[in-house]
Amino acid sequence: MSSSGESQSLGFTLVELLVVIAIIAVLAGLLFPVFSSAKKSAKRTDCLSNLQQIGMGTQVYLSDSDDVYPQTRQHSSDPAHEDVSGSIDEPIFQESFSPIQPYVGSKTATGGQVISPLFACPEDPDPFGRHCLEINPDSPDVTSYLVNAYFVFGLALGSINNPASTIYVAERRSAASGESGPFCDDIYHPWFSAANPQAPEIEMDPVSGAIAESRHMGLANYDFADGHAKALHWANTFSPPAVNLHLIVQ
């Protein structure tokens, strides 16, 4: 038996509590970045899944349309030269994703704007262009995604040398970058680059151009002309003259 003057410790000492708290803080510091990275990876995967569905829907559309991609701008068989200044982008027949809506199980809002969750990337801070309308109320309807402009002038699938290596849809840059505001169009022009002095603006700049080239931890998702989707670094899609997956003729 213990003596009547002997006390028994029934709890943690202050030092022990501080040690436990310190251990929890260290573990939290180690695990929070892991959880954050896992969350971002999940969002990238959801975004990639959206593009895969868009790609599959487009393939079904092609089978119903004599293998001609949805035409939303006036016809041109050589847009890179005829549209060097952006002069044949009008009239806009319809929003570039509207024709494939029935093929992906989504609908447009009154007036034709695509507002389906399928066209909203989870990592996109402004998928349907609210900031674009604040800048210009007459801005075209936009989503998280952009169509390569080569495809919107009446392009036939047979005109593409290598569909598996030709980008059809990319992610739109919707957040401001430096002094540049969001990109407010539903198509991007691969021929508007630093190599083209006649271009009205440079859309193929990795920072302030049309594409959200590093939205997903340095990667961006792309849908290709054969219907498959893939996450890639910008330089693996556009590093001319060696690499340019945005061209039709390769």
Tell the burial category of 242 from Cβ atoms under 10 Å away from its Cβ (0-12, 13-18, 19+): exposed
- How many domains would you assign to the chain? 1
Q: Are 231 and 48 in contact (CB under 8 A)?
A: yes
> 192-209 b/e with 16+ CB inside 10 Å = b?
bbeebeebeeebbbeebb
Enclosing domain of residue 225: 14-244
| 135-148 pLDDT tens trace | 888 888 899 999 99
Specify if 8 maps to a domain. no
Specify if 119 maps to a domain. yes
Integer angstrom CA distances of residue 5 from 2, 8, 9, 13, 172: 8, 10, 13, 20, 76
**Range 99-108, long-range pairs (CB < 8 A, 24+ positions):** 99/61, 99/70, 99/72, 100/54, 100/57, 100/58, 100/61, 100/70, 103/57, 103/58, 103/60, 103/61, 104/53, 104/54, 104/56, 104/57
Q: pLDDT tens per residue, the chain (250 residues)?
A: 445 445 555 566 877 777 778 888 877 777 666 555 556 667 778 999 999 999 999 999 999 999 999 999 989 989 999 988 888 887 788 889 989 988 987 666 555 566 788 999 999 999 999 899 888 888 888 999 999 999 999 999 999 999 999 999 999 999 765 557 899 999 999 999 998 998 999 999 998 999 999 999 899 999 999 999 999 999 999 999 999 999 987 5
Specify if 136 maps to a domain. yes
Specify if 203 maps to a domain. yes
Specify if 6 maps to a domain. no
Specify if 18 maps to a domain. yes
CB 82: neighbour CB atoms within 10 A?
Answer: 14
| 17-39 pLDDT tens trace | 777 788 888 777 776 665 555 56
- Per DSSP, the three-state class of 136 is coil
- How many angstroms separate the CA atoms of 247 and 238, rounded? 10
Q: CA angle 105-109-114, nearest 5°?
A: 60
pTM of the model: 0.81
Question: Residue 147: beta bridge partners?
Answer: 169, 187
Q: Tell whether omega for the bond before 91 is within 30 degrees of 0, i.e. cis.
A: yes
Specify if 73 maps to a domain. yes
Specify if 3 maps to a domain. no
